[in-house]
Amino acid sequence: MKFTIGQIAELLGGTVEGNAAASVYKLEKIEEAREGSLAFLSNLKYEHYLYTTQATAVIVAHSLVLKQPTAASLIRVEDPYLSFTRLLEEYQKAKGRLLQGVEEPSFMGENVTIGEAHYRGAFSYIGHNCQIGKNVRIYPQAYIGDNVVIGDSTIIFAGAKIYADTVIGNNCIIHAGVVIGSPGFGFALQKDGTYRDIPQLGNVILEDNVNVGANTTIDCATMGSTIIREGTKIDNLVMLAHNVEVGRHTVIAAQTGISGSAKIGDNCVLAGQVGIVGHISLANKTTVGAQSGVSKSVKEEGTIIQGSPAFDYKQNLRALAVLRRLPELEKQLNELKEKI
Amino acid sequence: MKFTIGQIAELLGGTVEGNAAASVYKLEKIEEAREGSLAFLSNLKYEHYLYTTQATAVIVAHSLVLKQPTAASLIRVEDPYLSFTRLLEEYQKAKGRLLQGVEEPSFMGENVTIGEAHYRGAFSYIGHNCQIGKNVRIYPQAYIGDNVVIGDSTIIFAGAKIYADTVIGNNCIIHAGVVIGSPGFGFALQKDGTYRDIPQLGNVILEDNVNVGANTTIDCATMGSTIIREGTKIDNLVMLAHNVEVGRHTVIAAQTGISGSAKIGDNCVLAGQVGIVGHISLANKTTVGAQSGVSKSVKEEGTIIQGSPAFDYKQNLRALAVLRRLPELEKQLNELKEKI
Amino acid sequence: MKFTIGQIAELLGGTVEGNAAASVYKLEKIEEAREGSLAFLSNLKYEHYLYTTQATAVIVAHSLVLKQPTAASLIRVEDPYLSFTRLLEEYQKAKGRLLQGVEEPSFMGENVTIGEAHYRGAFSYIGHNCQIGKNVRIYPQAYIGDNVVIGDSTIIFAGAKIYADTVIGNNCIIHAGVVIGSPGFGFALQKDGTYRDIPQLGNVILEDNVNVGANTTIDCATMGSTIIREGTKIDNLVMLAHNVEVGRHTVIAAQTGISGSAKIGDNCVLAGQVGIVGHISLANKTTVGAQSGVSKSVKEEGTIIQGSPAFDYKQNLRALAVLRRLPELEKQLNELKEKI
């Protein structure tokens, strides 16, 4: 998609200094931009780039006083950062809007309802008795099992697999390779040392505005539901086990694993590669540092923990600082013992 | 699927107290059950829920003496837990039994044999020269490469990818997104610092009753076979590298990784996010705690280890308890030094 | 594929001792080989297996002097290891050469160019405006989004998902279940505690000879490109976040995660389950031990680090050795305190 600088200024309610007829076709950072790019200058720490950038045009503030002439054309606006963000959103909308209709072959079971303006890619599969909202985009090779419910404007990317009975809200984004609703890892140890599968009869519920990153897996509940509440954002390759509940507006970074029946509060932040043991709960606004292993419930809101096993992050930092000096400490202790 | 309470009592050989004509359509925990649900009461610790539950019916023991009247109808049986488990199994069988036949389009190569009563979902792919047993279910978008052998009653869920030459036994369950038989990670470092692929010619063998969780990957052997023995259960997002051998009835929790040529014994338990280095072996009945890193072979049966690097779990717990107090210990040591 | 021992000797320029008419159909290790197998003996440490192996034929050096007669036929060559490697390569070429042509149904968008001698499997999907080289193999159920560029002789295995705008070089191998180009994990925290998606407009660039292991995910850049440079090899279930740059000929083992905007140098080795925090950089030839958590940049070439948080690996080994004795140390310290 190509636009003239004049068109962009009009969209943003800005004014052009330079060549309004020149056109741009991509957005780049001011320090990396090349010809054909549009950049922006918000933080004046980067002002020097304005005079050297190869961008075709730069969005700047009305208030900016130039120290030198610029090769790039300028688009003057009130708030360059907000304007740029708005452009990003328009750009994404424009891209998304193109996807509508049905590519064949695709499969749709019996007794499915699906709203207007949707997209179903080639080789996508929708089972029986599904209820799917409007403006939904189901990319190629995605799989939707029987009895699945999906809200409006949700996107299921290529090859995501949604097992039967899953419920997904509005405006959710499910990325490629995600598996939702696979049976929980439950086996009953028999007297002869073998394991027998415990049937997993529950489902997964995702509320509105939930994002799920590529190749993440969310298991269904043994009974009842594994629940991810409104606005929670989950990164790639995360594992959420059966009967896990994650609160609202919580962020879970890549490769984190949460064991069965653990409950995570609202507005929590779990960094990457964290492990949470089963059947514990984390209070709202808990922050867990990367690679931590959490083995006990956190009861106080706003707690920050780190380590494996995880405890107070400041105490953890101090302990790990001494850990490096342990050999030296042992030596000193031995010297003391000899002296006495 | 809806059943009357009378029908369920008949199936379980139980007796009804209450409304045998009322119907239920799902199974829930007694403390969470709502109208239309069937629950059970086995552990008397939960008896108080019996008098407040919103379940339509509850399975209880013949021997139970009620302390209050119940709103729910009761189904009296010998052992409520066993009866409930039996219901779960019947329910799963009923669901599974529906899936039979071939959805089109699907792809089947030349010279494939496949047994009776199977299901092949739309967009599933079976390569050439495969031998597939009876009662097998291959879900939509699953991929089976050339020369693959699959036993009876095995289920390959949506989008699982089985590379050529893999051998899978009877009654195995392979979940969505699993990759089995991808080439091992083997490269020969050249004198100029580049890497050259080492061809990976082996395969993967899964014996009977093996479960593989969503998005897990099992690499083929360089030569010979990567082997997962009978009854072993593998959770989601696990990585088993080339030439790994896992014994019988072993459990491997989510996000664990086992490096090349490691051998895991029978009846072992590896908790979540464990790492095992290559070319070591773990004795039968070894238990490895979560997030542990195992760098040495375990020779004695029944060993329990923890930590990264892993050692005896009790010793590890004691060491980690002191770790938190390290800054305090250092301070005390310094005070002692000054005193002397 | 079956070959006589005579045919193999001819291919390798070797000579036969034994039955040149006997045939073999697989390659195995000398200690595990069974009838019908071809093995090799390079390291004389394994010479005793030569006299007991059940292999039908073994490749040995011209210079080898037998201590006993062998049941297996021998193929004498200059360098048995090199000869065996050559056979492996011929074998793989032979297997790969068979795959050519288009299986239907498959989907190809408008304005796609694709070179000669390619393979497109059933249910594979290629979006609009893609440029694809020659000898490319796109396996069943693979997904290639719009505007993707793929070089010559690259292989995209079953079910891999390549998002729009990705650029992949020549001779790359992308394994099953890989996701490349999914949007980076970027959200702006709003004043009310909710998160808003930050549009991710960049792409992913893979240079030539890059391997990506099964179910690995590589996110696109927020702006600009996530870049994996020439010859780098990535194992299974690895996570590379937005704007990561990995240098040339670097090896990244399974389940490692690299956070946003981190830069990894050339010829580095990251072992399994490593975590790298965002916005740091590792010098060329850095080695990071398994399960390490790297929180600071490494500036000196050839550094070896280990631990979580990672520091010098020798220092780390010494510290962890003392860690086990911590309870003992604490006891000694307390005894000393009492004495004084």
Among B48, B242, B249, B279, the active-site one is B242
Residues of chain A with pLDDT under 50: none
Contact A224 B32 (CB under 8 A): yes
Going by the DSSP 8-state scheme, the letter that residue B166 receives in this structure is -
Alpha-carbon span B254 to B276, nearest angstrom:
14
**A10: amino acid identity, one letter:** E
Active site residues of A: 242
C-beta neighbour count of A9 within 10 angstroms: 23
Per-residue pLDDT of chain B (340 residues; tens, 9 = 90+): 678 999 999 999 999 999 999 988 878 889 888 888 899 999 899 999 999 999 999 999 999 999 999 999 999 999 998 898 888 878 777 666 568 899 999 999 999 999 988 999 999 999 999 999 999 999 999 999 999 999 999 999 999 999 999 999 999 999 999 999 999 888 888 889 999 888 788 899 999 999 999 999 999 998 889 999 999 999 999 999 999 999 999 999 999 999 999 999 999 999 999 999 999 999 999 999 999 999 999 999 999 999 999 999 999 999 998 998 899 988 988 888 888 7
Which of C185, C275, C339 lies at the smallest CB-CB distance from A273? C275
Q: Assess C191–A contact: CB distance below 8 Å, yes or no.
A: no
| pLDDT score at C98 | 66
> How distant is the Cα of C323 from the closest Cα of chain B, in angstroms?
6
> How distant is the Cα of C55 from the closest Cα of chain B, in angstroms?
13
Q: What is each CA distance from A81 to A32, B91, B142, B156, B211, in whole angstroms?
A: 17, 56, 45, 49, 51
Alpha-carbon span C52 to C36, nearest angstrom:
15
Contact B182 C157 (CB under 8 A): yes
Contact B74, B91 (CB under 8 A): no
Tokens of B62: 């013949």
Supply angle C-alpha C20, C25, C27, rounded to 5.
Answer: 100
| pLDDT score at C96 | 60
Which of A29, A267, A327 lies at the smallest CB-CB distance from C318? A327
Cβ within 8 Å of A, B 194-213: 209, 211, 213
* DSSP per-residue string spanning A204-240: EEE-TT-EE-TT-EEEPPSSSEEEE-TT-EE-TT-EE
Supply angle C-alpha C18, C20, C26, rounded to 5.
Answer: 100
The residue with greater pLDDT, C241 or C333, is: C241
| For range C280-304, the mean pLDDT | 98
Contact C182 A214 (CB under 8 A): yes
Burial string for C211-241 (b: 16+ CB within 10 Å, else e) reads bbbbbbbbbbbbbbbbbbbbbbbbbbbbbbb
pLDDT at C21 exceeding the cut of 90: yes
* Subunits with 3+ C-beta pairs closer than 8 A to A: B, C
Q: Assess C19–B contact: CB distance below 8 Å, yes or no.
A: no
**Interacting residues of B128 by C-beta distance below 8 A, sequence separation 6+:** B109, B110, B111, B112, B146, B147
H or E element in which residue B323 lies:
helix B313-324
> How distant is the Cα of B111 from the closest Cα of chain C, in angstroms?
16
pLDDT at C95 exceeding the cut of 70: no
Contact A235, C185 (CB under 8 A): yes
| pLDDT score at B1 | 61
Instruction: Report the SS3 class of residue B280.
Output: coil
| pLDDT score at B103 | 96
ipTM tops 0.90: no
pLDDT at C296 exceeding the cut of 90: yes
**Interacting residues of C73 by C-beta distance below 8 A, sequence separation 6+:** C5, C16, C17, C18, C19, C20, C22, C56, C57, C58
Contact A112, A128 (CB under 8 A): yes
Cβ within 8 Å of A, B 81-100: 85, 88-89, 91-92
> How distant is the Cα of B38 from the closest Cα of chain C, in angstroms?
38
Among C118, C175, C242, C279, the active-site one is C242
Which of A273, A332, A339 lies at the smallest CB-CB distance from B333? A332
Which of A176, A209, A273 lies at the smallest CB-CB distance from C161? A176
**Interacting residues of A178 by C-beta distance below 8 A, sequence separation 6+:** A157, A160, A161, A212, A213, A214, A215, A216, A217, A218
> How many Å from the N-terminal Cα to the C-terminal Cα in chain B?
81
- Sorted by where each starts, the structural domains of chain C and their CATH numbers stand as 3-97 (3.40.1390.10), 160-314 (2.160.10.10)
Alpha-carbon span B174 to B161, nearest angstrom:
9
Mutate to test the interface with B, among A198, A201, A258, A279 (most CBs of B within 10 A): A201
Going by the DSSP 8-state scheme, the letter that residue B326 receives in this structure is H
**C198: amino acid identity, one letter:** I
**Chain C contacts of B219, Cβ < 8 Å?**
214, 236
| For range C274-285, the mean pLDDT | 97
> How distant is the Cα of C318 from the closest Cα of chain A, in angstroms?
6
Q: Assess B319–C contact: CB distance below 8 Å, yes or no.
A: yes
Mutate to test the interface with C, among A87, A208, A237 (most CBs of C within 10 A): A237
**Chain C contacts of A85, Cβ < 8 Å?**
199
**Chain A contacts of C273, Cβ < 8 Å?**
273
Contact C141 A123 (CB under 8 A): yes
pLDDT in tens, A157-167: 999 999 999 99
Smallest CA–CA distance from B253 into chain A, residue: A185
> How distant is the Cα of C233 from the closest Cα of chain A, in angstroms?
19
Cβ within 8 Å of B, C 97-136: 103, 105, 121-123
* Subunits with 3+ C-beta pairs closer than 8 A to C: A, B
Mutate to test the interface with A, among B326, B329, B336 (most CBs of A within 10 A): B326
**Chain A contacts of C187, Cβ < 8 Å?**
233, 251
Contact C324, C309 (CB under 8 A): no
Which of C122, C251, C308 lies at the smallest CB-CB distance from B107? C122
> How distant is the Cα of B28 from the closest Cα of chain A, in angstroms?
6
φ/ψ of residue B20, rounded to 5:
-70, -15
Mutate to test the interface with C, among B110, B139, B143 (most CBs of C within 10 A): B143
Nearest to C227 by CA among C201, C262, C199: C262
Going by the DSSP 8-state scheme, the letter that residue A160 receives in this structure is -
H or E element in which residue B50 lies:
helix B47-50
Contact C304, C313 (CB under 8 A): yes
> How distant is the Cα of C180 from the closest Cα of chain A, in angstroms?
9
* Subunits with 3+ C-beta pairs closer than 8 A to B: A, C
Q: Please, which residues bridge with residue B76 across strands?
A: B15, B60
Alpha-carbon span C315 to A18, nearest angstrom:
60
| pLDDT score at A98 | 66
| pLDDT score at C1 | 60
Mutate to test the interface with B, among A103, A129, A146, A195 (most CBs of B within 10 A): A195
Which of A237, A290, A333 lies at the smallest CB-CB distance from C293? A290
Half-sphere exposure of A189 (CA within 13 A, CB side): 8
Q: Assess B262–C contact: CB distance below 8 Å, yes or no.
A: no
Tokens of B318: 């004691």
pLDDT in tens, C225-248: 999 999 999 999 999 999 999 999
Q: What is each CA distance from C217 to A36, C183, C237, in whole angstroms?
A: 30, 10, 7
| pLDDT score at B311 | 94
φ/ψ of residue A240, rounded to 5:
-115, 120
Q: Is the dihedral of CA C52, C56, C60, C62 positive or negative?
A: positive
Q: What is each CA distance from B37 to B58, B211, B339, in whole angstroms?
A: 9, 29, 72
Q: Are strands A23-24 and A3-4 parallel, antiparallel or unpaired?
A: antiparallel
Alpha-carbon span C61 to B223, nearest angstrom:
21
| pLDDT score at A307 | 95
Which of C105, C213, C266 lies at the smallest CB-CB distance from B182? C213
Contact C253 B185 (CB under 8 A): yes
Cβ within 8 Å of B, A 157-186: 159, 161, 163, 177, 179, 182-183, 185
Q: Assess C277–A contact: CB distance below 8 Å, yes or no.
A: yes
Contact C255 B259 (CB under 8 A): no
Write the burial class of residue B95 (CB in 10 Å: 0-12 exposed, 13-18 middle, 19+ buried). Answer: middle
Alpha-carbon span C274 to C258, nearest angstrom:
8
Tokens of C270: 């990251």
Instruction: Report the SS3 class of residue A258.
Output: strand
Q: At what angle do helices B313-324 and A313-323 cross, to 10 degrees?
A: 110
Which of A125, A187, A215 lies at the smallest CB-CB distance from B177? A215
φ/ψ of residue C149, rounded to 5:
-115, 130
